[in-house]
Amino acid sequence: MAVAETVAAPVAGMRSDLMRQRVRSAWVFLAPMLIVLAMVAGWPLVRSIYFSFTNASLANIDAAQWIGFENYLSITRLKSGKILYDGLLADPIWWRAVWNTVKFTIVSVTLETIFGTIVALVLNAEFRGRGIVRAAILVPWAIPTVVSAKMWSWMLNDQFGIINDVLMNLGIISSKIAWTANPDTAMFAVLLVDIWKTTPFMALLILAGLQMVPGDIYEAARIDGVHPVKVFFKVTLPLIRPALMVAVIFRMLDALRIFDLIYVLTPNNSQTKTMSVYARENLFDFDKFAYGSAAATFLFLILAVITVVYIVVGRVNFDGGR
């Protein structure tokens, strides 16, 4: 659609044969991608939305019957006159999961952006062995999440974990901490691993932005005697802002649907249960496939709303450049 518009718009009045042909071939080239996308993303999405309005159970999906909005909210008036609210919108566990997810997203993306920027600035400087360091820093990002989550869960283990051992020997803590079990530290543990894992990704995207900044601007700033900190905030940051905004939205979408890390590190823990974990639990563990579908649909809605708000408020430009 976007292609057709940009190609066709300037010549709206006088469409030449050539132009029409180009539009047609653009569609032909896009078609395979659109068809695959519709099959692997569109169809499942439509199916889950459909199931969220039914009473489907995993054991007998074909017998699903349409029940309207009951999975989201159903209001029953009792004989005594009391009104009973039921469904996803009235489920405190769901709202707890939403809050957990939002909290996780805000903290993790903020810290990853800050650390990623610092790492990118360091990697942007000229020094010997820069290539090797750039490759090495990507290692946490390259390890599959399930593997790194399991690895960290052993490192964070209260009795055998290396982290407790190191902290004890350094005298920082006086008794071993159960990082993943303690409700106060469970979220911290998850954040720690996520930041460790995804900071390299942010650094890479920001580094790409940094390399677009022309060197003569810095030279001019240096000649004018501007303080380096001021240079960063007045020159570098505005120039890498487009790249930064795109990097942040990538991470935000990723963080809002976090599942694997939490599922391995702190399964079933109500302090870290996110929307995706909640949806999976209802879909497969409990006999509530339709209810889980409603949660998944709501997750999709929340994601969509946040993305749109972010793009509008942040004036993100996906075309690159300005």
Partner 1 sequence: MKLRSALMAFSAGIVLMGSAANAANLSIVSGDTGNGLAVLREQLDIFEKNTGNKVTIVPMPSSTSDQFGQYKLWLAAGNSDIDVYQTDVIWAPQLSDQLLDLTDATKDVVGAHFPSIIESQTVNGKLVALPIFTDAPALYYRKDLLEKYGKQPPKTWDELAATAKEVQDKEREAGSKDIWGFVWQGNSYEGLTCNALEWVKSNGGGQIIEADGEISINNPQAAAALDRAKGWVNTISPPGVLAYQEEEARGVWQTGNAVFMRNWPYAYGLGNGADSAVKDKFDVVPLPAGSGEGAKSAATLGGWNLAVSKYSKNPKEAIELVKFIASPEMQKLKALKASNLPTIQALYDDADIAKGQPIIPRWKEVFQNAVPRPSAPTKVKYNEVSSNFWTATHDTLSGNGSAADNLEMLEAKLTKLKGAGW
Give residues in contact with partner 1 (CB under 8 A): 57-61, 86, 157-160, 176-178, 180-183, 266-270, 280-281, 284-288
* Helix/strand/coil (H/E/C) assignment for every residue in the chain: CHHHHHHHHHHCCCCCHHHHHHHHHHHHHHHHHHHHHHHHHHHHHHHHHHHCCECCECCEHHHCCECHHHHCCEEEECCCCCEEEECHHHCHHHHHHHHHHHHHHHHHHHHHHHHHHHHHHHHHCCCCCHHHHHHHCCHHHHCCHHHHHHHHHHHCCCCCCHHHHHHHHCCCCCCCCCCCCCCCCHHHHHHHHHHHHHHHHHHHHHHHHHCCCCHHHHHHHHHCCCCHHHHHHHHHHHHHHHHHHHHHHHHHHHHHCCCHHHHHHCCCCCCCCCHHHHHHHHHHHCCCHHHHHHHHHHHHHHHHHHHHHHHHHHCCCCCCCC
Structure tokens at 142: 């390259």
Which of residues 80 and 159 has its CB atom nearest to partner 1 in the complex? 159
Which of residues 197 and 273 has its CB atom nearest to partner 1 in the complex? 273
The label of the residue with tokens 């991608």 reads 33
Smallest separation, CB 132 to partner 1 (Å): 37
Which of residues 193 and 249 has its CB atom nearest to partner 1 in the complex? 193
Smallest separation, CB 89 to partner 1 (Å): 16
Which of residues 232 and 286 has its CB atom nearest to partner 1 in the complex? 286
Smallest separation, CB 262 to partner 1 (Å): 13
Smallest separation, CB 181 to partner 1 (Å): 3
The Cα 48–Cα 304 span in angstroms is 16
Which of residues 38 and 63 has its CB atom nearest to partner 1 in the complex? 63
Smallest separation, CB 298 to partner 1 (Å): 19
The Cα 290–Cα 56 span in angstroms is 5
Which of residues 201 and 291 has its CB atom nearest to partner 1 in the complex? 291
Smallest separation, CB 289 to partner 1 (Å): 8
Which of residues 6 and 270 has its CB atom nearest to partner 1 in the complex? 270
Which of residues 60 and 80 has its CB atom nearest to partner 1 in the complex? 60
Which are the contacts of 55, defined by CB distance < 8 A and separation ≥ 6?
64, 65, 67, 70, 290
Smallest separation, CB 142 to partner 1 (Å): 24
Smallest separation, CB 303 to partner 1 (Å): 23
